[in-house]
Amino acid sequence: MFNETQLEAIDNVIQINLIKAGLDNVIFMDMAGNTIAKHDNGKSHLDSTAFAALAAGNFAAVDAMAKLVGESEFSLLFHKGEKSSIHFSKINDETLLITMFNKDISLGLVRLKVAETIKEINNILAND
Amino acid sequence: MALINVKTKEVQIKIVYYGPGRGGKTTNLEYINKKYRDQIKTEMVSLKTQDDRTLFFDFLPFDVGQIKGFDITIQLYTVPGQVKYNATRRLVLRGVDGIVFVADVQKEQRKKNIESLNQLYENLETYNLDLFKIPLAMQYNKIDLKQSDIPILSSQTMQKDLNGILRAPAFEASALKGGNVIQTLKKIISMTLGSIQDQLF
């Protein structure tokens, strides 16, 4: 379980690194499909509860496929749409970071910002 | 494990409806969705095959109010019942807090009920969970078939087959007509909340 200081710090990191960089939606969630933190740019109408359940299922299925082909994991999971895209990243064995962004933002920038964010979240979680 | 968020004061609980194929797991959720439509904020999500069988899971979240200042959200899931989908069944069980085992009272399903329960035990073990310790409710579904010519098993037989050692609360039910669907749900919610209450402060 995360304490209040950790949750506060994670919210800040997501806001500064990702939402301010122009991403539409960010969900920090556990592998069981529970949302821990959700952030958006104020214009979103996403049903984040259902989204998190589906995202957990999707990630778990791909993870199981990786094991079947002898990979320990597929670390990058990315779905590209016409207007918006979704990027999945594993933070640790228990949690995932899902980011959604529109066509004005490049995948490269998202990957860079997500990598920074994951590093910072792991630092926050290490300071229990 | 239930997700307890001390910052937003939210608790999310995962309850999984498990059981053999065509046993009525999805029908349970559909009935709950219909019955409590006004209180459920989101649509039920169903990942199914073209012939309407569950492919991955059904998902239905709803709020049940507050306990000790925490908003409680219950998330109901079903697993795909077909034998070949065990890998996906196992994935759905990740992080489960409570289980409803939906058994089929039709005589010809007797073996499938037992096999499914045995597999549930094994699948939980992969997450270091013990079927004997996790909140569990038994539901003997399709009791409405009593009125037809289809041979069904008595509740005593069902109890002996599935619940002799587990001794979980059991309900005769008709998911199609809604009989005991809500009672089963209320029971598993109260058992699951009871099991996590110590973690709330």
Q: What is the CATH number of the domain that holds B174?
A: 3.40.50.300
- pTM score, two decimals? 0.90
Share of chain A above pLDDT 70, in %: 98
Residue range(s) defining the domain that contains residue B157: 8-199
pLDDT of residue B40: 86
* Among candidates A36, A50, A60 on the partner chain, residue whose Cβ is nearest the Cβ of B3: A36
- Both structure tokens of B171: 């309900």
Whether residue A53 and residue B199 make contact (CB cut-off 8 A), yes or no, is no
List, run by run, the mean pLDDT of 10-residue segments along chain A (128 residues): 93 97 96 93 89 91 90 86 94 94 94 96 90
Say how many domains are in chain B.
1
Q: What distance in Å separates the CA atoms of residue A74 and residue A62, rounded to the nearest whole number?
A: 7
Q: From B127, which residue of chain A is nearest by alpha-carbon distance? A: A32
φ and ψ at B39, to 5 degrees?
Answer: -95, -5
ipTM value = 0.80
List all residues 6 or more positions away from B74 whose beta carbon is below 8 Å from its beta carbon.
B13, B15, B61, B62, B63, B64, B189
Given this model, what pLDDT does residue B127 score? 96
pLDDT at A7: 95
From chain A, pick out residues whose CB is under 8 angstroms from the CB of B12.
34-35
Per-residue pLDDT, B201: 63
Q: How far apart are the first and last CA of chain B?
A: 17
Yes or no, beta carbons of A50 and B94 under 8 Å apart:
no
Using CB atoms, which residue from A1, A11, A53 is nearest to B45?
A: A53
Structure tokens at B185: 């749900």
pLDDT at A45: 86
Alpha carbon B142 to its chain centroid, in Å, reads: 15
Residues of A with CB under 8 A from a CB of B: 1-4, 7-8, 11, 30-36, 47, 49-50, 53-54, 56-57, 60-61, 64
Q: Choose among A2, A34, A57: nearest Cβ to B56.
A: A57
pLDDT by residue for chain B (201 residues), tens only, comes to 789 999 999 999 999 999 999 999 999 999 999 999 888 888 899 998 888 898 889 999 999 999 889 999 999 999 999 988 999 999 999 999 999 999 999 999 999 999 999 999 999 999 999 999 999 999 999 999 998 989 999 999 999 999 999 999 999 999 999 999 999 999 999 999 999 887 776
Strand pairing report for A77-79 and B3-5 = unpaired
Question: Residue B105: inside a domain, yes or no?
Answer: yes
Instruction: Kindly state whether residue B2 falls inside one of the protein's structural domains.
Output: no
* Chain B (53-82) residues lying within 8 Å, Cβ to Cβ, of chain A: 56-57, 59, 61, 73, 75, 77
What is the structure's pLDDT at B137?
98
Residue B35 belongs to some domain of the structure: yes
Domain for residue B17, yes or no?
A: yes
For residue A128, how many other CB atoms are within 10 A of its CB? 8
Size of interface A-B (CB pairs under 8 A): 69
CB B98 within 8 A of CB B91: no
Residue in chain A closest to B95 (alpha carbons) equals: A32
Task: Find the closest chain B residue to A64 by CA distance.
Answer: B87
Domains of chain A: 4-126 (3.30.450.30)
Give yes or no for a contact between B142 and B106, defined as CB atoms under 8 angstroms apart.
Answer: yes
Residue A67 CB contacts under 8 Å (≥ 6 apart), including other chains: none
Q: How far is B58 from chain A, CA to nearest CA, in Å?
A: 10
Would you say residue B40 lies in a domain? yes
The pLDDT assigned to B198 comes to 76
Does residue B3 belong to any structural domain of this protein? Answer: no
Q: Is residue B139 part of a domain?
A: yes
Name the CA radius of gyration of chain A, rounded. 14
How far is Cα A15 from Cα A21, in angstroms, rounded to an integer? 9
Q: Do B95 and A32 touch (CB under 8 A)?
A: yes
- Give the largest Cα separation in chain A, rounded: 41
